[in-house]
Amino acid sequence: MNLETTAWLLPCYGLLGAGLTLPWSLRIVRRTGPRPAVYLNMLMTVLALVHSCLLLKSVWGLPAQQFEFTWFQSLDLSIGCSLEISTISAGASILIATMSLISQVYGLGSLETDWAIARFCALIGFFEAAITGIAFSDSLFFSYALLEMLTLSTYLLVGFWYAQPLVVTAARDAFWTKRVGDLFLLMAVVTLSNLTDSLNFSDLNTWANAPETIAYFAEHQQFGTLLGLALIAGPLGKCAQFPLHLWLDEAMEGPNPASILRNSVVVGAGAYVLIKFQPVLSLFPVAAQVTVFLGAITAIGASLVAIAQIDMKRALSHSTSAYLGLVFIAVGMQQPDLALGLLFSHGLSKSLLFLSAGAVMMTTITQDLTEMGGIKTRMPATLIAFIVGSLGLVAMVPFGGFWTLLRWEETFWNSDTWLIAIALLVNGITAFGLMRLFALVFLGAVQPKTRRAPEVAWQVAIPLVALTIITLLVPILLPSWEFVDIDLDTVDIWGTAVLVASGFLGFGLGAYIYVKPYETGSSVPMLPVVTRQAWKAVQDLLAYDLYVQTIYKYTVVLIVGGGSKFLSWVDRYLVDGSVNFVGFASIFSGESLKYTVTGRLQQYVLTIMFGLILIGFAAFYRWN
């Protein structure tokens, strides 16, 4: 048996790990404590990682292979499950297993005293199974089902501490926001199933390139536009893109080990599905343009919002939305390889940043930036990890973010220079925001909550150091996986200079505003009153997410809420009132007529004769 035919087992490791932890997560087993559940789940993840590595070695350099088996069949309805085994899918499986293992080891340290850690591991296994299934799925139908599993997993993990009202609200908002996009995606899946004979991505690509398909949508452009918009709605919600972007900010109420996965591979799962049906999306020019437009808005807007947050996790989460916006732009511009490279380099760097942020929050017992400072000598490993993650995220030579954004420049240099401006702007703003976080967390005066902050325990230090090494190896991994072609002889000098300059400008401006006052012991120079008021208004605008939530409250929520109240009034007083009136009239007439039933024949004949006389008089007057 070929190793490729065993790829379907990879999602089963996560499900098996989740199942094995049930006796502890359901409190059936208490005597041993929850640790055995953690170890069993970690063992399943290690097996998945080893299996993925062997699979990658087996398929390296080979073309993609498709395997299909019947999942459900009844009469003439047959639903098949199709898998695509390729270097990309196997590499994605390795990344997923690695991130899952790091999250579990980190969770063992941060949630060690929480009895619900067994339930956390079960949910992580569920997470891992769904994402791994998406990596290998060649079916749009099954990818949609697996995305629904991710939505459920997000709800359960965000609401992990369900005794806290704020956590429950955040989980509910995250769930329903994603459901909005999923509903439209389901409509698109059902529509495509009526237009094509197969929902496999490989078959959909062939169908999209067929001349008759192109001619059909050229004739029915409005229908094609609606179908394309419905297709991108699901990934919009999963990747926290405008206007379905607010859930990722609220999802930071969940445990930090889950945030590591959520901001690296979970949000990338929706983009991965979008990349797979990119040839179908190319049939609908308006939908592709909308994808680019929404990605650009999210990339710039989320980058600006991130620099005004005082919550460490929320600042990093908005940065995630910004970089996923660049991925959406790449997909809309029909550059799937570029989108994959961005997902890979961003995922590793952002995971390392969340790991270091979690280490800081675990030792200081706060995630408020105004309560941090002065821990650079107390947490050296965390400091190095944060620096490496920051350099890997922005375009700094020779880290992974530099090579992917350089590929971005080379792609759009001669065609769409405004897209290069967006990438440079996002890169500069992100560098500024990371320097701001660095100064507020690691520099400055020691605060009461950071006075005795120690370095993290080994359960957190091991994944921190391991992921730091992996992030440093990204420039080697990118060309080996053929995401980018790193050739120093053909590198554009001017493009490189502009790209690096944008990062240095962001770091320099951030250092001037936040680092310089700490070094000199002075405060930021006072500004004129009018300038301070204007700057305060800008800060509030960014801190409150450009008032998007307020706009939704007085537009979408008001319309939906007012409409639902009106429909409730119609249902209660018109529909129910009409039905109740008919029932009351029937009861009243029945109660009245029962007194006419006496059993006397003479009375019945008299009644009939009286009625005939009335009918006769009415007919007489009608005819005359």
Do the Cβ atoms of 182 and 147 come closer than 8 Å?
yes
Note the pLDDT of residue 170.
83
d(CA 41, CA 579): 57
Note the pLDDT of residue 526.
47
Which residues, at least 6 apart from 517, have a Cβ–Cβ distance to it below 8 Å?
A: 523, 524
On the question of pLDDT at 523 being above 70, the answer is no
The residue type of 268 is G
Note the pLDDT of residue 118.
85
On the question of pLDDT at 522 being above 50, the answer is no
Q: Which residue has the tokens 């094609």?
A: 224
The mean pLDDT of the chain is 83
d(CA 460, CA 405): 31
Q: Which residue has the tokens 């961005």?
A: 342
On the question of pLDDT at 276 being above 60, the answer is yes
Tokens matching residue 412: 């759009």
Note the pLDDT of residue 543.
80
| Residues facing 82 on adjacent strands | 68
Note the pLDDT of residue 260.
81
The residue type of 151 is T
On the question of pLDDT at 521 being above 60, the answer is no
Do the Cβ atoms of 475 and 407 come closer than 8 Å?
no
Which range, of 135-139, 330-334, 589-593, averages the lowest pLDDT? 589-593
Tokens matching residue 339: 């989108």
Note the pLDDT of residue 519.
52
- The pLDDT tens digits of the residues spanning 181-229 come to 888 999 988 888 888 888 888 888 888 888 888 888 888 888 888 988 9
Note the pLDDT of residue 426.
92
Note the pLDDT of residue 557.
80
pTM for the full predicted model? 0.86
- The pLDDT tens digits of the residues spanning 610-620 come to 878 888 887 77
Q: Which residue has the tokens 């996009």?
A: 181
- Report the first-to-last Cα separation within the chain, whole angstroms: 99
Q: Name the nearest CA neighbour of 479 among 600, 593, 398.
A: 398
Give the pLDDT band of residue 475 (cuts 50, 70, 90): confident
Note the pLDDT of residue 487.
60
Which residues, at least 6 apart from 279, have a Cβ–Cβ distance to it below 8 Å?
A: 204, 205, 208, 209
Do the Cβ atoms of 483 and 87 come closer than 8 Å?
no
d(CA 600, CA 488): 114
Q: Which residue has the tokens 């983009």?
A: 271
Do the Cβ atoms of 53 and 94 come closer than 8 Å?
yes
Note the pLDDT of residue 296.
92
Note the pLDDT of residue 434.
92
CA distances to 34, 116, 117, 160, 379 from 113, rounded to whole Å, are: 10, 9, 8, 15, 22
On the question of pLDDT at 76 being above 80, the answer is no
For range 557-569, the mean pLDDT: 85
Which range, of 267-271, 323-327, 421-425, averages the lowest pLDDT? 267-271
- The pLDDT tens digits of the residues spanning 102-160 come to 888 888 877 777 778 888 888 888 888 888 888 888 888 888 888 888 888 888 888 88
On the question of pLDDT at 15 being above 70, the answer is yes
**pLDDT, greater one: 81 or 500:** 500
On the question of pLDDT at 527 being above 50, the answer is no
- The pLDDT tens digits of the residues spanning 375-432 come to 888 888 888 999 999 998 898 888 888 888 888 888 888 778 888 899 999 999 999 9
**pLDDT, greater one: 333 or 535:** 333
Q: Which residue has the tokens 């790209």?
A: 499
Note the pLDDT of residue 483.
61
Neighbours of 30 (CB within 10 A): 10
- For residue 142, the number of C-alpha atoms closer than 13 Å in the C-beta half-sphere is 27
Long-range pairs for 60-66 at CB < 8 Å and ≥24 separation? 60/87, 61/87, 62/86, 62/87, 64/89, 64/202, 65/4, 66/138, 66/200, 66/202
Reported as type and span, the H/E element at residue 23 is helix 22-25
Which residues, at least 6 apart from 316, have a Cβ–Cβ distance to it below 8 Å?
A: 263, 306, 350, 353, 354, 357, 437
Note the pLDDT of residue 530.
54
- The pLDDT tens digits of the residues spanning 337-360 come to 888 888 888 888 888 998 888 888
* pLDDT-above-70 percentage for the chain: 92
- The pLDDT tens digits of the residues spanning 46-72 come to 999 999 888 888 888 788 888 877 777
Go through the chain and tell me how many residues it has. Answer: 624
Largest Cα separation within the chain, whole Å, is: 118
Tokens matching residue 577: 């009132």
Tokens matching residue 5: 């035919």
For range 26-50, the mean pLDDT: 85
On the question of pLDDT at 518 being above 60, the answer is no
For range 289-299, the mean pLDDT: 91
